[in-house]
Amino acid sequence: MPDRLRARIAWFAGALGILILGSGLLLDSVTQWRLHLLAGLWLISLPARRLIGQRGATAHRSLRGLMLMAVLGFSAIGLQLARNQVTRSEATLRAVAALAQPVATEQPQPVFPETDPAERTSLGSGRTFPVVINAGARGRILDRNGVVLAETIDGRRTNPALGHLIGFQSRLYGTTGLEARFDAQLSGVATLSPTAILEARLLGSSVEQFPADLTLTLDTRLQEAAQQALGERAGAVVLLDVPTGAILAMVTYPRFDPNQLVLPEPATQADVDRVQAAWAELNARSDAPLLNRATQGRYPPGSVIKTLTAAAALDSGTLADPLAPVTCPNLLPTEAGAPPVRNAVDNLFRRTGDPSDLVRVYAFSCNTAFAQIGLSLGADRFLEYARRFGLQTADTRSGPPDLRDIPAEVGTIANEASFLQRPAALADTAFGQGQALVTPLDMAQLAASIANEGRLMRPYLVAEARAGERVIYQAQPETLRQVVSPETSQRMLSIMRTSVEIGYAQPIALPGVSIGAKTGTAETPRGIPHSWIIAVAPVEQPRYAIAVIVEYGGEGSRSALPVARQVLATALGVTP
Amino acid sequence: MKRSVVGQTWRCTAFTILAIFLTACSEPLVEPRAPRTPTAVIDRYNAIVATAEAGEDLLARARAYYDRGNIWFDQQNYTEAIADYNRALALDPSMSRAFHNRGLAYAMLKEYDAALRDYALAIHLDPDYRRAYENRVRLLEELTVSRPDETLLQQLADDYGSLARLIPTAEAPYRYRQGLILARLGDRTAAREAFDAAIRAQPHHVDALYERALLHYASGDLDAALADLDAALRLSPRAANAYYVRGLIRRAQGDARSAIADFGQALLLQPAYPEALIARAATYAEQGNMTAARADLQRLDDLQLDPTLQQAREALRLRIGGSG
């Protein structure tokens, strides 16, 4: 390469080095600045080396090279210092000013950071006030006639007998039952205005809170009658108001005292230990006292399900009318390999007649007759009617239970819909065996819908919530669906009444009142069956529908029937 | 060839040394903080104290102790500093600066009650002792965060007032702070006077305008509150919380339409503004526009809410019947 070209390149490199150094002074990043510094100095060194020359002795060249390095090194330090003075000019100025200022004679002005008001996105201090909602105040719970069922006295809710419905408020185990579902109304949060809370948060003002009283649909008189009639037998009673679906009485046994789960305020360690021991004991008991059997107990329905089968057969036209001929053989083979359907007693046809009709086979609870009716209905139609009455299959169970005020389970007619496709399974289910599991509330609703011109009503427990004069919650009777026609309903009522007049439900009869009923005896693995009954009264203008189960109570007419009779007698004002 | 390799190695070494040297130079060469007093200086002050003790002049002796106390303080030896201030004050109890400096030393040792006592004595001796006020304010601001004691808050408010008097150029910010503390204490009248003074000193003090509007709102003077907020919003048209508060006031005045517009503007400026969402949803619900109310309620589900806002949301949900 010609020397002239090499000289030009060197000078060009030098100029480039100066540019790189200059641009580096403007950089914020220290690392980038150092790179610029090194690169720039190296480039500047190229023309400088040409200037100091390559000739002469090695010692001379080395000495010149060292001089060049020293010059470049001091230049680097100078540049670094210069850059620091620029980038840290403020700190430097402050330091210099501090040096210049005499100590403790003149004080600097306080500095308050100021932003251009136009750029402000928030004004003021931004403080907020905590809004205190009084969790201690709580409304009362009254029955439909204004009788106080629960109120807070010294932090405790009264009336332990209604623990399954009212629930409890435990700092250890949460809030349950009506206390949980209507917490907003009972605590008064429902009466709070959201904007009042916002104002209180902004301005520190107080919020007005009015705990509301809950009025239930329960009738204390009927509740106590049901409680007394059931006694200390495991089971449940549900009494519904037919036209509205309102729950007039709901009893379950065993019960528990919710107060034993409530910690006093303030609580000692002994209180905590006591509550924990009570909770452990309640959970350990084999008779499951925390379970509300009326809404959460799922039992095989026994023969009370024949009411559903009969209504489906009449409503669908499978049986033209209640007097259409039906047989009641001792045995009914259903499919190869499956045991035939049997009646609970031999030669039942002697009571039902042969051929018989729907009225008489219902009254005497003929299994073989209802197995035939079920098979005639067919699996799909039977399932459709079961669903209309609110029973589902476990595999397709969907949606919440009809009762929304307290926890409830949804009854099922079979585990899987396909189960009913087998003739033996369909026949068994139609007369009350198979896989069906229902709650006492389900069966009370079945009876009530039959009595209510075929309309299934939503059951409810809370009629209204009232804060002073202000009603903040009002339940309205709600028709869920028409399950059977009014005509079917009338026919079924007549069939149920005959069951009381001539059939197994005869002992429920009360003087001067017409009652329709169906008993049930649900087989259990323990051998002793559950005792069931459903009933409606008065048949002419149904007002009450009841379902009773007594666990391991034997035949339906033995244990459950007297309970239903006593409750209906109280409701109807009749002396049994 | 060999010479070239040696030369390159030499150059590489030289550049590496240069790079290391430059790295060492990267730290700031000028510290903003004044350097600490060298430890050796204390010996000089020991000598001064010894000389003063030998003399009869008690005030000179007190001054010598005070000066040495300051040196100990500067060396962060607060215990020795307090001992010297004690000696100085025993000789001359009128030394306001010794009280002040001892208070500062106590504050550094986190003996806050002693610090406050000394500041108070310093200010008692010299009611215009600005630095004593400033240091007491700094300490009270720190203390009242964890100890919102009424006496401390009242003291803080008074000190802000004194500083506003002593430093006319900073009157507006000090009066504003005084107003905030007085409002926190619930003394609305005094707070409003403080905000008035702040606005007089600095008519464009948007924070004082906003806070005064809140006071008017709390006392029910909605028109005055609106006037202040309008003035604040003219200066700060991007202040979302001012629109929100103006919306609340307009809603309280029965002007639901303007209120919804203000809440909407607040949400436009600050989309994740739960208070504005709740307020707008409640106003929509009052207007019967449940669809819009439920839409706002649904937006709330995506936001983190503190317990008070959760209660407001539940109250709103109960009112408009949303799921949840």
Annotated catalytic residue within A303, A449, A489, A531: A303
If one compares B295 and A59, the residue with the highest pLDDT of the two is B295
Distance CA(A159)–CA(A173), nearest Å, equals 19
Closest Cβ opposite residue A190 in set B22, B242, B318: B318
Give the CA-trace dihedral at A576, A440, A519, A354, to 10 degrees: 150
Total domain count, chain B:
3
Q: Is A31 on the interface with B (CB under 8 A)?
A: no
Q: Where are the alpha helices (DSSP H) in A262-393?
A: 269-284, 293-296, 306-316, 349-352, 358-363, 367-377, 379-388
Query: What digits encode the pLDDT tens for the residues B31-85?
Result: 444 455 666 788 888 999 999 999 889 999 999 999 999 999 988 899 999 999 9
Of B97, B180, B236, the CB nearest to A125: B180
Closest partner residue to A92 among B25, B30, B170, by Cβ?
A: B30
Tell me the per-residue pLDDT of A393-433, one tens digit each, with 9 for 90 and over: 988 777 789 998 999 999 999 999 999 999 999 999 999 99
DSSP classification of residue A291? S
Between positions 36 and 65 of B, the ones with CB within 8 A of A are: none
- In this structure, of A145-149, A381-385, B212-216, the range with the lowest mean pLDDT score is A145-149
Confirm if B112 and B139 have CB atoms less than 8 A apart: yes
Predicted local distance difference test score (pLDDT) of residue A400: 84
Q: Considering the domain boundaries, does residue B153 fall inside one?
A: yes
Average pLDDT over residues A372-395: 94
∠ Cα A206 A211 A216 (to 5°): 165
Q: How far apart are CA B246 and CA B228, in angstroms?
A: 10
B199-223 mean pLDDT: 96
Q: What is the pLDDT of residue B311?
A: 86
Kindly give, in sequence order, each residue whose CB lies less than 8 Å from that of residue A404, ignoring residues fewer than 6 positions away.
A181, A458, A460
Question: Which residues 76-95 of chain A have a CB within 8 Å of chain B?
Answer: 76-77, 80-81, 84-85, 88, 91-92, 94-95
User: Rounded mean pLDDT of chain A?
Assistant: 89
Question: For chain A, how long is the longest CA-to-CA vector?
Answer: 143
CB pair distance less than 8 Å for B311 and A72: no
B169 secondary structure, DSSP code: G
pLDDT tens digits, A540-551:
999 999 999 999
Residue A62 annotated as catalytic: no
CB pairs under 8 A between A and B: 160
**pLDDT: which is higher, A226 or A173:** A226
Judge whether residue B323 has pLDDT over 60: no
Any idea which of B87-91, B146-150, B217-221, B320-324 has the lowest mean pLDDT? B320-324
Q: Does B5 touch chain A (CB under 8 A)?
A: no
C-alpha separations of A80 from A13, A408, B19 in Å:
21, 80, 12
Whether B49 and B118 map to the same domain: the answer is yes
Chain B positions in Cβ-Cβ contact with residue A34 (cut-off 8 Å): 19, 22-23, 26
The Cα A235–Cα A552 span in angstroms is 9
Q: Is B228 on the interface with A (CB under 8 A)?
A: no
Say if B140 falls within a structural domain.
no
Residue A235's closest CA among A536, A479, A528, A478? A528
CA distance A2 to A10: 13
Residue from B133, B139, B142, B196 nearest B160 by CA: B133
> In this complex, which of A81, A92, A118 lies closest to B237 when CB atoms are compared?
A118
The CA distance from B121 to A56, in Å, is 82
Check CB contact of B304 with chain A, cutoff 8 Å: no
> Are B92 and B163 part of one and the same domain?
no
| Per-residue model confidence (pLDDT) at position B112 | 95
| Mean pLDDT computed over A313-319 | 96
**Cβ distance B28 to A84 under 8 Å?**
yes
Q: What distance in Å separates the CA atoms of residue A49 and residue A275, rounded to the nearest whole number?
A: 93
What are A90-120's pLDDT values in tens digits?
Answer: 666 555 544 443 344 455 666 677 788 999 9
- Do A154 and B279 touch, CB atoms closer than 8 A? no
A474 touches chain B (CB under 8 A): no
Sequence-distant (≥ 6) Cβ neighbours of residue B301 within 8 angstroms: B324
Axis-axis angle for helices B206-218, B171-184 (nearest 10)? 30
For A270-293, give one letter per residue: b (16+ CB within 10 A) or e. eeeebbeebbeebeeeeeebbbbb
CA distances from A451 to A135, A432, A537, B37, B200 (A): 44, 21, 8, 100, 80
Q: How far apart are CA A195 and CA B245, in angstroms?
A: 11
From chain B, the residues in CB contact with A212 under 8 A are none
Percentage helix, strand, coil for chain A under 3-state DSSP, each rounded to 5: 45, 15, 40
A249, A222 contact by CB (below 8 A): yes
pLDDT at A93: 59
Residue B306 domain boundaries? 253-324
- Taking alpha carbons only, the member of A496, A503, A493, A506 closest to residue A352 is A503
The answer to whether position B35 is within a domain reads no
Is residue A507 within 8 A of residue A525, CB to CB? The reply is: no
Where a domain ends, among B74, B100, B133?
A: B133
> Average model confidence (pLDDT) for chain B?
89
Listed in sequence order, the residues at least 6 apart from A537 whose beta carbon sits closer than 8 Å to its beta carbon are A510, A513, A514, A515, A516, A543, A544, A568, A571, A572
Q: Based on the domain organization, do B158 and B225 belong to the same domain? A: yes
Q: What is the pLDDT of residues A204-218, one digit of tens each?
A: 888 878 889 999 999
Phi then psi for residue A518, to 5 deg, are -145, 125
Residue from B89, B92, B91, B94 nearest B102 by CA = B89
- A132: closest chain B residue by CA: B308
Nearest residue in B to A131, CA atom: B308
pLDDT for residue A104: 44
Quick check: B317 and B281 in contact, CB under 8 A?
A: no
What's the rounded Cα separation, in Å, for the pair A3 and A103?
Answer: 65
Enumerate residues 6+ apart whose C-beta is below 8 A from A12: none
Chain B contact for A34 (CB, 8 A cutoff): yes
Q: pLDDT value at position A98?
A: 46
**Long-range pairs of B264-272 with CB within 8 A, sequence gap ≥ 24:** B265/B240, B266/B240, B266/B241, B267/B240, B269/A121, B269/B238, B269/B239, B269/B240, B269/B243, B270/A121, B270/B240, B272/B303
Under 8 Å between Cβ of A509 and A286: no
pLDDT of residue A37: 86
- Asked if A477 and A502 count as a contact pair (C-beta separation under 8 A), the reply is no
* Distances in whole angstroms, Cα of residue A319 to Cα of each of A313, A315, A325, A341, A487: 5, 8, 9, 20, 13
What residues contact B42, with CB distance under 8 A and at least 6 apart?
Answer: B68, B71, B72, B75
Q: Which two tokens stand for residue B265?
A: 């503007």
Q: Supply A147's token pair.
A: 């009788």
B82 touches chain A (CB under 8 A): no
Q: In terms of CA atoms, which chain B residue is nearest residue A84?
A: B28
| pLDDT reading at A283 higher than 90 | yes
Q: How confident is the model at residue B222 (pLDDT cuts 50, 70, 90)?
A: very high
DSSP B298: H
pLDDT surpassing 50 at residue B100 = yes
Report which residue type is found at A163: G
Measured from the Cβ of residue B160, the count of other Cβ atoms closer than 10 Å reads 25
Which of A58, A69, A121, A123 to mutate to probe the B interface, most B CBs <10 Å? A123
Return the minimum-mean-pLDDT range out of A160-164, A172-176, B129-133, B178-182.
A160-164
Q: Which of A409, A405, A141 is nearest to A258 (CA)?
A: A141
Q: Which of A518-527, B8-17, B175-184 has the highest mean pLDDT?
A: B175-184
What average pLDDT does this structure show over A438-464? Answer: 97
- Position B63, amino acid: R
Closest residue in chain A to residue B181, using alpha carbons only: A125
Asked if the Cβ–Cβ distance from B240 to A121 is below 8 Å, we say: yes
Question: What are A73's two structure tokens?
Answer: 């090194």
Judge whether B17 lies within some domain. no
Backbone angles phi, psi at B120, to 5 degrees: -60, -40
Cβ–Cβ contact B270 with A under 8 A: yes
Q: Are A500 and A517 in contact (CB under 8 A)?
A: yes
Per residue in B161-184, pLDDT (tens digit) is: 999 999 999 999 999 999 999 999
Beta bridge partners of A438: A299
- Put simply, whether A73 touches B (Cβ < 8 Å) is yes
Find how far residue B150's CA is from the centre of its chain: 18
Confirm or reject contact between A54 and chain B (CB < 8 A). Answer: no
We report the CATH number of the domain holding residue B184 as 1.25.40.10
Name the range with the highest mean pLDDT among A24-33, A61-70, A189-198.
A189-198
- Whether B184 maps to a domain, the answer reads yes
> How far does the CA of residue A189 sit from the closest CA of chain B (Å)?
6
- Note whether B18 contacts A203, CB cutoff 8 Å: no
State phi, psi for B248 to the nearest 5 degrees: -60, -40
Answer yes or no: do A193 and B130 touch at CB < 8 A. Answer: no
Domain map (residue ranges) of chain A: 3-83
Those residues whose C-beta lies under 8 Å from the C-beta of residue B96, and which sit 6 or more positions away, are B121, B122, B123, B125, B126, B129, B132
Q: How far apart are CA B7 and CA B15, in angstroms?
A: 12
Q: Tokens 């924070």 — which residue?
A: B207
Q: How many angstroms separate the CA atoms of A308 and A55, rounded?
A: 120
Contact A571, A224 (CB under 8 A): no
Q: Is the pLDDT of residue A355 over 70?
A: yes
- Please identify which residue in the block is written with the tokens 């002419």: A540
Q: How many CA atoms lie within 13 A of A96 on its CB side?
A: 8
Chain B interface includes A133 (CB < 8 A): yes
- Give the DSSP H/E element, type plus range, for residue A545: strand A544-550
Closest partner residue to B239 (CB to CB) among A92, A98, A123 is A123
**Which token pair is A422?**
């087998």
